[in-house]
Chain A
């Protein structure tokens, strides 16, 4: 079936592939050894290892940090869900056409401008410390809830813009096609525009999700005992920075599955829509 020529070509390609693998392995090994030797021979290395990578302290601080991380995860889940819904609403409002909606549009635009520009740390202080200080009835004084509110306010503004970019990237001809079938503006948005928009902005959304995973640790500045705070407490007890490294690594581990998920999703879309 396959010609002699093609067999020879395939074997050449295979040998090239083998060579590439070998080169990659070799260069990785050389690089790893070089880095290892440089680090181990650096004059400050014993001190670095002692105060950043103390296994015993890491092990001792792990339970408290994990318990804190559980709080971060719960905040992440609740905030993530709220942000998705609210951002979609804000984005939809911003794309509304028609003079009646003018005040709503202005409001949504102003909201996005304000909360996207405001440093998150200031927002956290204002909401976390400022709001309870007003002593209004009905305002919760739980730092976790207040921190969550600040995160939702800030991230909704970001994510709304991502959604809006997606909505506007759907070609007007799609809207024309939907309207020509008799779909109203709401059905058009829900059934035709949004599904395409969301698919297109998925990578950006997951990017923001990873950012949110980390920023959930910022509620610690209000005093909530999350992973970051727990690490701080452990650090203060031992004057050793290993607990921070532990907490940091845990956050990194948290982000890795999200990143792989984003990659897999991208490949799936590419496959389904036929990459050419």
Chain B
């Protein structure tokens, strides 16, 4: 078996004396889409933030293509160039146009000439269906459009791994579809994706594997039809029952 793109090994994260991640281990292989589910507060977002090295680990390792990027001797800025993250609240830069948001990293971090970066950005914006809004500012866009720009921004430097942190949670229901359609397309084109999500139906359709997080532990992992259909662990069953009762599956 080839080396996984991402390998999380025994990651522990504490805030004060609250343990948010309690020894998480997880591999994501090339072209694989892994969905992380779990109730709010289970540590999904923290896991993604730890993987992107936005949080310092209290124990364990994050390996990217076999390289331990969580090592304090490794330059986190360099390691992050291999990853792209999309946040729940978009986090676009409000003082920059859509085009500048997308071209910022290629130009500043990767030294791509402006003309080339912009050409690539327009292609990407075309793929997310927003080529005509390149000159607009984030505030002039709908939530769904902003999130699609954020995805284009994360893809602009062709990262090995795409991290999606509950990217539809802040969206109006009628805007969720357009973003999920985009993610589905990315999955089909062979992107390696680790996503935290509340959209169980979507996880079932798109993910190759679903992992269930509870109280900072990875309790169950497997193909979507198994984890979401016939979960083994009682906590998973309880969680899914609540989701079904809320009419979300």
The 10 closest A-B pairs by CB, nearest first: A6-B59, A13-B72, A3-B59, A9-B72, A12-B72, A2-B59, A3-B10, A5-B61, A9-B71, A12-B73
Chain B min CB distance to A165 (Å): 18
Q: List 14 A-B contacts (CB under 8 A).
A: A3-B60, A5-B59, A5-B60, A5-B61, A6-B12, A6-B57, A6-B58, A6-B59, A6-B60, A9-B71, A12-B72, A12-B73, A13-B72, A16-B72
Q: Contact residues of A with B, CB < 8 Å?
A: 2-3, 5-6, 9, 12-13, 16
Starting from the known contacts A3-B60, A6-B59, A9-B71, 10 additional A-B residue pairs (CB-CB under 8 Å) come to A2-B59, A3-B59, A5-B59, A5-B60, A6-B12, A6-B58, A6-B60, A12-B72, A12-B73, A13-B72
Closest residue on chain A to residue B9 by CB atoms: A5
Chain A min CB distance to B68 (Å): 9
Chain A min CB distance to B59 (Å): 4
Given the complex, which residues of B lie within 8 Å of A16, measured CB to CB?
72
Given the complex, which residues of B lie within 8 Å of A5, measured CB to CB?
59-61
Kindly identify, within residues 55 to 71 of chain B, every residue whose CB is under 8 Å from any CB belonging to chain A.
57-61, 71
With A and B bound together, what is the CA distance between A123 and B72 in angstroms?
A: 59
With A and B bound together, what is the CA distance between A9 and B72 in angstroms?
A: 7
Closest residue on chain A to residue B58 by CB atoms: A6
Closest residue on chain B to residue A12 by CB atoms: B72
With A and B bound together, what is the CA distance between A5 and B57 in angstroms?
A: 12
Closest residue on chain B to residue A9 by CB atoms: B72
Kindly identify, within residues 10 to 69 of chain B, every residue whose CB is under 8 Å from any CB belonging to chain A.
10, 12, 57-61
Chain A min CB distance to B119 (Å): 35
Chain B min CB distance to A172 (Å): 14
Chain B min CB distance to A38 (Å): 38
Most chain B beta-carbon neighbours within 10 Å: one of A2, A5, A16: A5
Chain A min CB distance to B127 (Å): 31
Given the complex, which residues of A lie within 8 Å of B72, measured CB to CB?
9, 12-13, 16
Chain B min CB distance to A16 (Å): 7
With A and B bound together, what is the CA distance between A6 and B57 in angstroms?
A: 9
Given the complex, which residues of A lie within 8 Å of B57, measured CB to CB?
6
Chain A min CB distance to B10 (Å): 7
Given the complex, which residues of B lie within 8 Å of A13, measured CB to CB?
72
Given the complex, which residues of B lie within 8 Å of A12, measured CB to CB?
72-73
With A and B bound together, what is the CA distance between A26 and B64 in angstroms?
A: 38
Most chain A beta-carbon neighbours within 10 Å: one of B10, B58, B59, B73: B59
Chain A min CB distance to B224 (Å): 32
With A and B bound together, what is the CA distance between A11 and B12 in angstroms?
A: 17
With A and B bound together, what is the CA distance between A3 and B10 in angstroms?
A: 9
Most chain B beta-carbon neighbours within 10 Å: one of A2, A3, A12, A13: A3
With A and B bound together, what is the CA distance between A12 and B61 in angstroms?
A: 15
With A and B bound together, what is the CA distance between A12 and B73 in angstroms?
A: 9
With A and B bound together, what is the CA distance between A13 and B122 in angstroms?
A: 43
Closest residue on chain B to residue A1 by CB atoms: B59
With A and B bound together, what is the CA distance between A16 and B72 in angstroms?
A: 10
